[in-house]
Amino acid sequence: MIKDIKEDSFGTCAYGKTSPKRNSISATTKSINILLSFDDALKLNLAIDECVRKINKYKRNSVAGKRAALNLIIHLDLERMAIKEGKI
């Protein structure tokens, strides 16, 4: 059976590089710069937009609406990012 709707994520994209470099990131690293190509930035923008549109459909005064969140997953080992719906 083929599923018509994605259930896992709203989309993924690759990123070009991180600063500092991935192998020098430690527990004391305060921030990471992630550089994306224009095409991958468009993919990320679309994935974020789709997720925000979905969580915007929840009623804000409901428990699900108050807990709805966007989950940005950064796979440092794969140099990829994914967008999923999450809960706070």
In a domain, 5, yes or no: no
In a domain, 51, yes or no: yes
Cα–Cα distance, 35 to 48 (Å, whole number):
17
pTM score, whole prediction: 0.83
SS3 82: strand
- For the chain, the domain total comes to 1
pLDDT at 30: 94
In a domain, 1, yes or no: no
pLDDT at 8: 78
In a domain, 54, yes or no: yes
Q: Would the pLDDT of 1 be above 80?
A: no
In a domain, 4, yes or no: no
Q: For 18-71, what is each residue's pLDDT tens digit?
A: 999 988 999 999 999 999 999 999 999 999 999 999 999 999 999 999 999 999
pLDDT at 56: 94
In a domain, 2, yes or no: no
In a domain, 44, yes or no: yes
Q: Which domain does 16 fall in, by range?
A: 11-87
In a domain, 82, yes or no: yes
